[in-house]
Amino acid sequence: MNYNNNIEDLELMTLTSENSDLVKGFVTAHYIVDTPLFQMCSMTKEELCNTYLTRIDGMLACNLSFGFREKSTGKLIAMCANTLSPNKAHLVPNVGDSIMYRYINTIGDYGQEIGAKTYMTFGSACVSPKYAGLGLATKLLNQSVAKGVEIGCEAIGMYSTNSFMHRIADKMGFRILKRSRFEDFVDYDGTKPFHGKNVGPHVDLVVYYKWLKPTKDTMSV
Ligand SMILES: CC(C)(COP(=O)(O)OP(=O)(O)OC[C@H]1O[C@@H](n2cnc3c(N)ncnc32)[C@H](O)[C@@H]1OP(=O)(O)O)[C@@H](O)C(=O)NCCC(=O)NCCS
């Protein structure tokens, strides 16, 4: 973990369609495929980036996404791309017909499951390794929660396979809607493509949610 970076040099920004090139540059530079999971799925960097690049303009148009930029260089070093649902924008197009996205799309419409009519999805969180572990993803999620409250969303949700994101969600009082193991995923042809395979730290796909308005559910706790 790097403790030498100057947090004072960072500024939080709302990412909009005007920042499209900045965001695309960041995604292309930082999304990597050299993890056991991506290798197991034989996913190329181009396919991985395209899953985001094809959706990013629609996400940025919501004006609900955030990033951190270095004031001195203008470079984006962290981002999240959020969407307002119900519009299924959080589901991933199956670029390259990857097993991974067939699996991720099993999460379905979580807002409907929890009974929320308007909900925001926190997604595509990514922090430059240079700034890892300094609380930036936590701040991006905090900012997203505040935005959800401001625009009157009933709930905010997110899904992740990343253990650091699991930690942040727990810390911020998110509830788990469902958790599934890569190991157990049954593909359309009845096979279990992840069974017995090394998917590195990505063990569970967890869908989280947090109510932003009082509900019967939260008031009884
Ligand atoms: C997941 C990710 C966004 C986290 O960003 P981050 O800014 O480093 O996260 P935070 O600093 O807010 O840290 C969250 C927790 O994880 C821990 N953590 C983060 N990076 C760490 C590292 N490299 N080593 C050890 N712990 C780490 C932090 O200590 C913190 O826990 P704590 O509050 O109990 O100390 C970042 O690691 C990343 O971009 N990963 C690759 C992309 C990805 O998988 N995104 C998730 C998509 S849903």
119-122/155-160 β-pairing: parallel
User: Would you state the pLDDT for residue 171?
Assistant: 96
| Domain boundaries 7-219, corresponding CATH code | 3.40.630.30
Distance 186 CA to ligand 1 centre (A): 29
What whole-number distance in Å separates Cα of residue 65 and Cα of residue 83? Answer: 8
User: Looking at ligand 1, which residue's alpha carbon is closest to its atom 19?
Assistant: 133
Question: How confident is the model at residue 75, as a pLDDT?
Answer: 94
The pTM (predicted TM-score) of the whole model is: 0.90
pLDDT at 57: 86
Q: Whose CA is nearest to atom 39 of ligand 1?
A: 126
* Residue segments in the chain with a per-residue pLDDT below the cut of 70: 1-4, 86-97, 216-221
pLDDT at 172: 96
